[in-house]
Amino acid sequence: MEVNYAIELSKHEHKPLQINPIKHSQPMGAALAFYGIRNCLPLMHASQGCASYTKVFFTRHFNEPIPMYNTSVSDITAVLDGGDYSILLSIENITKKNKFKPEIIGLHTTGLTETKGDDVRGVGMHIEIPYCYVNTPDYEGGMESGWALTAKALIDQHTRPYDQVRPNKLLLLPHVSMQPVEVEKIKEMCENFGFETYALPDLSTSMDGFFGEQQGKLAQGGIGIDEIEVLGNCATVVSIGSSMRIAAEALLVKNPKIRHIHFDHLMGQDMNDNFVASLMEIRQIEPSPSVKRWRGRLQDVMLDSHFLIGSSRFVITGEPDMCIGMTELIQSVGGTIEAVVSTVYSPVLEKIEAKKVFVGDLEDAKVHFKNADLVISNFHAERILHIDEQSHAGLVLRGFPNYEELGNQLKNDQLYEGSTYFLLEIANKLREVKHHG
Amino acid sequence: MVNRAKIKELLNESACSHSKDKKPGEGCDKPKPGLAAGGCAFDGAQISLFPYADAVHLVHGPQTCLGASWETRETLSSYEGRDHTVMGFTTGIRTNDVIFGGDKRLADSIDFIMKEYAPEAIFVYSTCVTALVGDDIDMTCKLGSEKHGVPIVPVHAPGFVGGKNLGSRLAGEAVLEHLIGTKEPEFTTPYDINLIGDYNVTGDMWQYLPILDKIGIRVLSSMSGDGRVGSIRTAHRAKLNVIVCAKSLITLCRKMKEQYDIPWISVSFYGKRDTAFAIREIVNALGDEKLIAKAEEVLAEEEEKLEARLKPYKEMFAGKKAVLNTGGNKAWSIASGLQDLGIEVVATSIRKSTADDIEKAKEYLGPDGILMKAPASEQSKVIDEKGAHILLAGGRSLYTAIKKKISFIDVNQEKKVSYGGFEGLLNLAEDLKSAFNNPVFANVSKKAPWETVSMEAE
C-alpha cells in the first residue's frame, strides 16, 4: 500500500472507502453538545440504531450513564412523514413515561432524516417546551462540526439581542475534543481574573465523572437555557478551536459590542501567554500566583523533556482542533511530527507545519507508524499497532473513543498546567519504548 | 431487495412462540418513537454476521453506522488469516452519493477491498440512507461477485425497517439465499451439526465445543460464532441445526427444515444443568444409541470434575440470595447457573422474555420465585422483602444496588470473560466471589462530613 505515502492535504478523498475509520459523525457531535446543556433532552431524529450506537459509544468512553432519546423513524415514516409525527410522538412518549419536564429539547437530524428532507424547524411551532434544532447530516462534516453547529444553533435560536454588555461577563466556546475537566480548568482561570464565566456547551459539570445522588434521564449539570438566553450581554467571548468561530460570530450578531478573542488551541507556552495577556489587558490585573507557578513548571518540564521529545518522531490522529494543539506543543520542544492524520478537512489543517498533514483513516496512518516513536491516537490504534510488527512505537490515547482507559473526563492537556502534564506523559511513554524496548 | 412481505413474514415467524397467539400483522414489537434507544435492524444484521473473520464487512452508508460500532464486540475467532472482525470498512457516503447515488463508490470500494485484502467473501450492508436513495446493491454485489470470483453478499437491513431482532433474521435470509448450499463438504459424518446464533462473544462457544468433540459430534458449520464462509456454504448437509440461546435466527432454521429437511432444536449452555441438558438434547435429536451412551459417559466424567471445583464456592455461597434483572433467555439461563452455584434466585425479570422463556423462568424459580414484569420499579422492593445479597443486572440498575448497600454484577454490558459451559460457570463463581467480598458498595454509600457534622454556633 505504498500509494498511501503520497497523500496530500486536500478537500477531496483519496480512496472510495474508509478502512478502520477515525472519523465520527456530525450527529454524534451534536448529541455530545446537548449533554452540556442543563436538563436537556437530547433527541436524535433518526432510526433507533443511530441513537443506540451513540449512547453506547459515549457510555463506554465516559463510563457514565448517557441520556439519549430518538424518534425511531420507521419504514413508513421514513417515506411518508415530514418529521412532525415521529418527533411529536417521541416527545409525548418520553415526557409522559418519565413524568419529567426537560428545560429544553435538543433535536438534531441524521443522514436519514436529512435525506428525506424533514422540516425540523417547522415542527418547533407545535412544541411547548423550549426547543433547539440543528441540521447535522452524517454525510457531511464530522463530530467537531456537529458540536460547533449545535453551539451556534443554541445562540442563534435562543440568545436574545442586546446593545449593552456586562464588563466582566465572559463566554467560553470550547471545541469538541476538550474533556470536561479541561473546560473546568479554563473556566477557573477566567474566574481567577474576576470574570463571571460561562461555557457553551459545558461538559465540565455534566460529564465530569461526578458521583451524584441519582443518574438522570436528562443531561445533568451544564449551562442552563436561561443562561444561554442572556449570553448577549457578555463583554467577551473566547472561542477555542477553529471550528468554534461560527458560534462566536453568531453571538456577535446578537450584540456587536461583544469583544471576540480566538485561539486555535490552548496548549503550550505561546498560546497560553497570548491567552493570559488578553485576560490581563481586559481586566487590568495580574494573574494569580498559581498561574505564574504553573508557567514556571511548564518551562521546567519543557527543558527536562526536550532531550527525549526533541529526538523523537510522532504521528497524531484526531479531530483538527485537537491535532493542531498537540502538534504545536510537541514542536515547541523540538519533536518531529511525521504525520498528522485528521478526521475531516478543516482550514486549520493548512496551518500545521508537519511532514505530512492529510485527511484519512487508520489504514493510511498505519503506513507512518513504522517511522514513529510515539503515536497519539484513539483506542482503535492500539490493535493496529500490535498487529504491525514493524512498528516499535508507543501509544498515548487521546480523542474519541477511548474504551481502554478509565477517567477520560479527567485528562487535562490545556493551559500551562495541562500542557505540563501532557509533556510529562509523552516523555515518560517515550522513555518506556525507547529505553526498555 | 427487502420488501414489506418479507418483513411481515419475518416479524410473524410461525415457529416462534412469541408470535403464535398474535393476529397476522402484529408479530414482533416495533420500535416506538422516543422510548428506549435499542439497536436497529442494521445493528442486528451486523452482530449476526460480523463473527465471520475471513469475510470483509462493508457498511454502505454514512458515518455513524460503522464509525460508532467497529471494534466494540469481543467476538473471538480462531481464524489464522487476517482477522477482519477487528477492522472497520465503510463507504462513508458523502453528499454527492446521496444526490447522485452511491453505486459507483460501492463498486470501487469492492475492487479496493479485493485488491488489498482478498477476503473469502464480502458482506455489503445497506443502511437507511443508501436504502432510501435506492442504491442497487444487489446488482453491484452481483457484478462484483462475477468479477472477483468470491461471494459478495448483499444484506438488506436498513435501520428503519425495525429492531435488532429483525436485522438478525434479515442477515439469516441473506446467508440462506447467497451462501448455504453453494458448496459441498469434503466429507460428512452422521453426527454433523450446525451451531446457529452463538456469536462466540468472549469465547462462549469454546467453553462447550471440547465436550461436543469428546462425544464425537462434529460442528460442520457455524452461523456465525468463529464461523468460516467456506463451511457455512456446506451447511445444508448437516443432520441437525442447534440454535444457541438467541431466538432471532429461528426463521433460518425453519426454512432449512423446509428446504433441506434439517431438524432443529433450541438450547442454552449457561450453567451446569443447562449445559448437560443441551448436550442430551443434541444427542437425542441425532438419535444414535451409541452416541447417547457416549454422551452420558462424558457428561458423568465432566460433571464430577466440575462438582469438585464448585464445592468451595458452594460452601461460600450458602444462604446467599440473588435478584436477576436481565433480558430474554438470560432471565432463566443465568438463574440456572446461579442455582447451580447454590445461590437462591429470589426474583428474575421477564420484561423482555418470550412465552417460552417465562415458562422456563417459572419452572426454575419455583412457586416462591418472583417474576418481575416492571423490574425497574419492582427490584428495589423485592431486594428488601427477600433480603437479597446481590443484584445482577445492567448498568442502569447500579444505583439500586448502591442504595441497598448490596453487591452488584453487570451482566448486560460487554463482559470480559465467558460465563458459558462448565468452565464459564467457574468464571461466574469467581466473579460472584469478588462481588460478595468487595466492600466498595457499602463504602460509597457512606455519608459525607458535611451531611453529618453539626456546624451550629456554640
CA–CA distance from B245 to each of B274, B380, B410 (Å)?
11, 28, 19
Contacts of B367 (CB under 8 A, 6+ apart): none
Q: Tell me the C-alpha distance between A424 and A196, whole Å.
A: 32
Average pLDDT over residues A139-156: 98
- pLDDT, tens only, A394-431: 999 999 999 989 999 999 999 999 999 999 999 999 99
Q: For chain B, positions 393-452, list CB contacts with chain A under 8 A.
A: 395-396, 398-399, 414, 444
Average per-residue pLDDT for chain A:
93
Contacts of B5 (CB under 8 A, 6+ apart): none
Give the pLDDT score at A217.
Answer: 78
B160 vs A19, A26, A112: nearest CB: A112
Average pLDDT over residues B165-174: 94
Q: Tell me the C-alpha distance between A317 and A368, whole Å.
A: 11
- pLDDT, tens only, A276-330: 999 999 999 999 999 999 999 999 999 999 999 999 999 999 999 999 999 999 9
Minimum distance, in Å, between the CA of residue A121 and any CA atom of chain B? 19
Q: Tell me the C-alpha distance between A52 and A61, whole Å.
A: 14
Query: Chain B: residue nearest A400 by CA?
Result: B68
Q: Tell me the C-alpha distance between B21 and A228, whole Å.
A: 53
Minimum distance, in Å, between the CA of residue A379 and any CA atom of chain B? 9
Average pLDDT over residues B11-16: 74
Q: Tell me the C-alpha distance between A319 and A238, whole Å.
A: 20
- Going by their DSSP bridges, the two strands B89-90 and A18-19 should be labelled as antiparallel
Which chain B residues have a beta carbon less than 8 Å from that of A28? 64, 67-68
Size of chain A in residues: 437
Interface contact flag, A97 B41, Cβ < 8 Å: no
Interface contact flag, A25 B105, Cβ < 8 Å: no
Query: Chain B: residue nearest A84 by CA?
Result: B33
In degrees and rounded to multiples of 5, residue A409 shows phi and psi of -70, -10
Going by the DSSP 8-state scheme, the letter that residue B34 receives in this structure is T
Instruction: Indicate which of B28, B63, B80, B111 best probes the interface with A, i.e. most A CBs within 10 Å of its own CB.
Output: B63
Residue with the bigger pLDDT between A350 and B31: it is A350
CA–CA distance from A223 to each of A173, A231, A392, B16 (Å)?
12, 11, 44, 49
Going by the DSSP 8-state scheme, the letter that residue A201 receives in this structure is S
Q: Which of A103, A84, A93 is nearest to A42 (CA)?
A: A103
Q: Tell me the C-alpha distance between A247 and B228, whole Å.
A: 51
Query: Chain A: residue nearest B95 by CA?
Result: A139
Domains in chain B (CATH in brackets) are 4-178 (3.40.50.1980), 192-303 (3.40.50.12380), 311-443 (3.40.50.1980)
Q: Tell me the C-alpha distance between B195 and B193, whole Å.
A: 7
Q: Is A4 exposed, middle or buried, given 0-12, 13-18 or 19+ CB atoms closer than 10 A?
A: middle
Query: Chain A: residue nearest B44 by CA?
Result: A49
Give the pLDDT score at B304.
Answer: 95
Going by the DSSP 8-state scheme, the letter that residue B90 receives in this structure is E
- pLDDT, tens only, A212-232: 655 567 888 899 999 999 999
In degrees and rounded to multiples of 5, residue A314 shows phi and psi of -125, 150
Residue with the bigger pLDDT between A191 and B446: it is A191
Residues paired with residue A259 on neighbouring β-strands, in sequence order: A236
Q: Tell me the C-alpha distance between B250 and A112, whole Å.
A: 30
Interface contact flag, B35 A93, Cβ < 8 Å: yes
B40 touches A at CB < 8 Å: yes
Query: Chain B: residue nearest A215 by CA?
Result: B399
A53 vs B30, B68, B133: nearest CB: B68
pLDDT value at A146 more than 50:
yes
A47 vs B68, B87, B128: nearest CB: B128
What is the number of CB-based contacts under 8 A between chain A and chain B? 203
Which chain B residues have a beta carbon less than 8 Å from that of A110? 62, 64, 128
Query: Chain A: residue nearest B398 by CA?
Result: A215
Residue with the bigger pLDDT between A216 and A332: it is A332
Q: Tell me the C-alpha distance between A112 and A83, whole Å.
A: 11
B32 vs A1, A52, A72: nearest CB: A72
Which chain B residues have a beta carbon less than 8 Å from that of A43? 34
Taking the C-alpha atoms of A86, A89, A90 and A91 in order, what is their torsion angle to the nearest 10 degrees? Answer: 130
Q: For chain A, positions 138-167, list CB contacts with chain B under 8 A.
A: 138-140, 142
Q: Tell me the C-alpha distance between A169 and A193, whole Å.
A: 11
Interface contact flag, A48 B109, Cβ < 8 Å: no
Minimum distance, in Å, between the CA of residue B426 and any CA atom of chain A? 26
Half-sphere exposure of B227 (CA within 13 A, CB side): 31
Q: Tell me the C-alpha distance between A146 and A30, whole Å.
A: 5
B24 touches A at CB < 8 Å: no
A49 vs B32, B39, B395: nearest CB: B39
A111 vs B31, B71, B128: nearest CB: B128
Give the pLDDT score at B246.
Answer: 67
B64 vs A50, A79, A87: nearest CB: A50
Asked if the domains A9-18+291-436 and A166-288 are classified in one and the same CATH topology, the answer is: yes
Which chain A residues have a beta carbon less than 8 Å from that of B132? 78-79, 112, 115-116
CATH class held by domain A26-148? alpha beta
A75 touches B at CB < 8 Å: yes
Q: For chain A, positions 361-420, list CB contacts with chain B under 8 A.
A: 379-380, 383, 403
ipTM value: 0.94
Global pTM reads: 0.94
Give the pLDDT score at A64.
Answer: 84
Which chain A residues have a beta carbon less than 8 Å from that of B86? 383
Query: Chain A: residue nearest B45 by CA?
Result: A49
What type of residue sits at position A55? K
Confidence bin at A83 (pLDDT 50/70/90): confident
Q: Tell me the C-alpha distance between A25 and B63, whole Å.
A: 5
- Fold classified for A166-288: Rossmann fold (3.40.50)
CATH number of A9-18+291-436: 3.40.50.1980
Minimum distance, in Å, between the CA of residue B100 and any CA atom of chain A? 12
Average per-residue pLDDT for chain B:
90
Q: Tell me the C-alpha distance between A97 and B81, whole Å.
A: 50
Average pLDDT over residues B238-243: 96
Which chain B residues have a beta carbon less than 8 Å from that of A98? none
Helix ranges (H only) for A311-354 are 320-331
B151 touches A at CB < 8 Å: no
B99 touches A at CB < 8 Å: no
A86 touches B at CB < 8 Å: yes
A91 vs B34, B65, B70: nearest CB: B34
Which chain A residues have a beta carbon less than 8 Å from that of B396? 65, 215
Q: Tell me the C-alpha distance between B274 and B337, whole Å.
A: 8
Q: Tell me the C-alpha distance between A200 and A134, whole Å.
A: 15
Give the pLDDT score at A1.
Answer: 44
Q: Write down the residue that cell numbers 445522588 correspond to.
A: A213
Give the pLDDT score at A2.
Answer: 47
Query: Chain A: residue nearest B161 by CA?
Result: A75
Q: Which of A237, A251, A242, A206 is nearest to A32 (CA)?
A: A206
CA–CA distance from B356 to each of A372, A408, B108, B361 (Å)?
57, 43, 47, 9
- pLDDT, tens only, A22-49: 999 999 999 999 999 999 999 999 998 9
Per-domain residue ranges for chain A? Answer: 9-18+291-436, 26-148, 166-288
Q: Write down the residue that cell numbers 454484577 correspond to.
A: B409
Q: Is B290 exposed, middle or buried, given 0-12, 13-18 or 19+ CB atoms closer than 10 A?
A: exposed
CB A238 within 8 A of CB A259: no
Specify the range with the lowest mean pLDDT, choosing from A77-81, A158-162, B45-49, B140-144. A77-81
Give the pLDDT score at B415.
Answer: 64
Which regions of A92-157 does DSSP assign to beta strands (E)? 104-108, 131-134
B100 touches A at CB < 8 Å: no
Confidence bin at B206 (pLDDT 50/70/90): very high
Specify the range with the lowest mean pLDDT, choosing from A40-44, B54-58, B96-100, B244-248. B244-248
What type of residue sits at position A244? M
